[in-house]
Amino acid sequence: MKRNTWQREAVREALDDTEGFISAQALHSALHASGSPIGLATVYRALGDLAAKGDADSLQSPEGEALYRACSTTGHHHHLICRNCGLTVEIAADEVETWAKRVAAEHGFTGAAHVVDVFGLCANCTKLGTSETGRNP
Amino acid sequence: MKRNTWQREAVREALDDTEGFISAQALHSALHASGSPIGLATVYRALGDLAAKGDADSLQSPEGEALYRACSTTGHHHHLICRNCGLTVEIAADEVETWAKRVAAEHGFTGAAHVVDVFGLCANCTKLGTSETGRNP
DNA sequence: ATGGTTTTGACAATCATTATCAATAAGAGA
DNA sequence: TCTCTTATTGATAATGATTGTCAAAACCAT
């Protein structure tokens, strides 16, 4: 039987309060920062449960971390994420929307969902121009 | 200066001989199995180089492993993946390419990398009916 | 062949994630 | 409300992929 714990509530709320995707580790840090003594393993479990129940989306970042997002079926949009400071900008993506649908249809695919997110260095972090990793163009 | 070593050749050939995606670990095992004493770290480096040069594709498996594949098309492209049977189709994505660059630039972002993958049900799996195998949410 | 430099490879280090397991607390029933 | 059963928690160990280290080996222009 599923039990309700404040921990699970906390994770769900923290995820709801988050714009865009966040890693389990980051979410755990955020919870700690706001005074919650929740354990890391519990955050992982809660996020896993949410994803399994379909209440959360998950994707893999280019670095291989698992990122989670509250599943807001209302209003679909994408994200531009700074890989240095984590700044996230919401972006409209009508073009991509249409493109994804068309491409899927062309290959006979149905029920197409797409993961479209752009990672980069935001203006600030670019200016600071520290030790860059120089990844894919 | 880049040097040519039999190790890099071996990795490139092993990747060419592989259908679909393969993990670095698996490729290393395969090489060992065919008598090559190549080191694991070297396989990782070679694959990384190939991916950086655009001669190989890489994506993250749902389990978080990095998977590689010999790149048939030159240049960067994306994938259309069946969430039921795993069938993967390479898709050109010039539009998305341009879009991603433009959006990043508009917001002052530099060094943009993007995650653009479309998941859906391929023609076959659509025909078979959706809720049969019920694997991926 | 020689020398300067890149590359290799065994192993340690790192990072995210999962398993372990005793202690805790949720919730049903008395 | 109180008790009891058992799902859940959390500190930590374990796991598994990937990256860093650095001396030794290999490559290639000369």
Condensed to tens digits (0 to 9), the pLDDT of residues B116-125 reads 767 677 777 6
A25: number of Cβ within 10 Å: 13
A73 φ, ψ to 5°? -65, -20
What does each C-alpha distance from B73 to A26, A112, B76, B94 come to in angstroms? Answer: 37, 23, 8, 13
Over its length of 137 residues, how does chain B's per-residue pLDDT go in tens digits? Answer: 788 999 999 999 999 888 778 899 999 999 999 999 999 999 999 999 998 887 887 777 767 788 888 865 555 667 776 655 556 677 776 777 788 888 888 888 876 767 676 767 777 767 765 433 333 33
Q: Which of the nucleotides in strand D have any atom less than 7 Å away from a protein CB atom?
A: 7-12, 17-21, 26-28
pTM of the model: 0.68
Closest CA of chain A from B57, distance in Å: 12
Query: Which tokens belong to B29?
Result: 């095992």
Q: Which of B89, B109, B122 sits opposite A80 (nearest CB)?
A: B109
- Who contacts A6 (Cβ-Cβ below 8 Å, separation ≥6)? none
What does each C-alpha distance from B21 to B70, B79, B103, B125 come to in angstroms? Answer: 8, 12, 30, 20
Is there a contact between B111 and A120 if contact means CB atoms under 8 Å apart? yes
Is there a contact between B121 and A137 if contact means CB atoms under 8 Å apart? no
Closest CA of chain B from A33, distance in Å: 27
Is there a contact between A104 and B120 if contact means CB atoms under 8 Å apart? yes
Closest CA of chain A from B70, distance in Å: 17
pLDDT tens digit sequence for A36-46? 999 999 999 99
Contact between residue A80 and residue B81 where contact means Cβ atoms under 8 Å apart: no
Q: If you write DSSP's letter for every residue of chain B in order, what string do you get?
A: -----HHHHHHHHHHHTS-S-EEHHHHHHHHHHTT----HHHHHHHHHHHHHHTSEEEEE-TTS-EEEEE-SSSS--EEEEETTT--EEEE--HHHHHHHHHHHHHTT-EEEEEEEEEEEE-HHHHHH-TTTT----
Helix (H) or strand (E) holding A63: none
Q: Which residues in chain B (32-91) have CB-CB distances under 8 A to chain A?
A: 52, 60-62, 64, 66, 76, 80, 82, 89, 91
Query: Which tokens belong to B56?
Result: 């190989």
Nearest DNA or RNA nucleotide to A45 (CA to C1'): C18
d(CA B65, CA B24): 9
Which residues from A are below 8 Å from B61, CB to CB?
60
Is there a contact between A121 and B114 if contact means CB atoms under 8 Å apart? no
